[in-house]
Structure 1
């Protein structure tokens, strides 16, 4: 996944007034938006404070951002954080509300360094609480993204905290299939932000079981993105043993449906297998794809038995084969280079079934 603002973000940061940190660079930041926009700047669109009770999470007000999803417009809101204001950050918490279900990206921009992003899904007309640790942010690696000399997030060098509707990137595509697949709703939109705080208190680590967890499912937000007709929600309990994600969608001829999640840089280094728990309401042909930085894509197809039966899969990386559109110089799956995991229901694509289905994913990790 990449986030490309070309030169716009650095320029906006340079021009923005650092009102929130004008005097003291306190290690803990708290913003209520009860009285003003607290130093936030809109690169595109309009920022204001709303006191509408329906759009306020707590207190008297919330930050209201009115923006447009359109080709040629890059909608982005940011808070300048100069002079190492976030150097001691152990956790970032806030609540967000959008007028349509959409992937949202939180951004940490280093001075003369990399752009680090964390993705999550915001449901329509609901307050979504978000809790992020520094390790939840991954380097954005698009061709137009700034390069990071040391390849790691340096909090003392972060000069801006941003937020964007990820649809603003997909809206720039000349391929209408991209917008249809990801259900991008073009036109005017509203995003509200409230109860933002940065603290030195670490977030819970979650399951400490052996392995390298791709998702511990301990955060309040979901970092899984649905595509096609897929709607993703948090899941807990049967058919899973614990927490996970549920994907609801329609199997139909030619329908491309599924979900995807970013994988932290180097997270799977040293592992040899992918393990996960999977259950499907109906029998399904499921494609699991691991995508590398650089374009390598490797597939493994499994059969979901249906009847919401829990299956515990243990898939050796040697069982994954290159996708037709894989671009990899060594033609080999390198776990340390994996940046995205995709789970796709091929049942409709192959004309093998039709109807509503639910798919559950839990306990997904790399293992030795």
Structure 2
């Protein structure tokens, strides 16, 4: 990875490092491209913080552990990082993994700022030590349901795999759409072949198929099968979890992967900070940065501000969530309690429904945004 040049007037950090633990999916079955973008954002923010003097003259050090989308591995990593003396914990993309990490972090009193996972119930009970940047799944997926409803779809099918995350998504869609007379039919993406899913869609008369599945399998074979089935011409394919955001989607699917709406957490327009960081992330990644890369950058930006204000004492950091206000790449970040989440939540993260433009799959179109 390329290391950005120091800011003008940068000061050298001195003294022992303040360590931040980072949980990132870097190997399969984790979503490794998301993990790579998340880590790029985390690392860039650490580099820039150290280039401007670090934490009161002490550099920040990122201690990275690969979760590989495994909740047990994440729990073990939390224990290890706590034992290594990290001041706080950052990261994670997969919701079920973040939930395991959040539960363990709160039990040990280790402050954890979750970068990317959206499952509403990140902990079973109110957690003082845990905060989160992305919106709860219920908020983002209701925004997505509003988009689908506005597009005129009243018969929707979801191809879903068994997991707490996908089951929660199906429930949110049903509860939000049912009062409007819209039906949501669940198809088992693990038990049915892509051809069988197409048969079910044709028999049901669904006008939209939402992919609540892992990537690349079975999402990629499902998209290919639907696109090639003449019975399903005009069927909307959607992927609320954000799979089409990443270049691997476009590389595997080409034109078939365009016109698939998904959720992402970026503003309509970036301010100066977001624009500068976006350019630096593009250079570091050698490709356009995803919203996950910005989430990683904002995570360290928040933790660095908290460390400057309160030092590396875990108890003081954990008590400071409601008093924290930081300018991130995507807006002003403040935390409050959101019912049903159990954690401190950024109150107004941006939410968009976006797709890849069929006329130019490398370009994104904003189709809908949360009000």
Q: Could you tell me the TM-score, scaled by structure 1's length?
A: 0.23
Structure with more of its chain in helix, by fraction: 2
> Could you say which structure has the greater relative contact order, defined with CA pairs below 8 angstroms and 6 or more residues apart?
2
Structure with more of its chain in strand, by fraction: 1
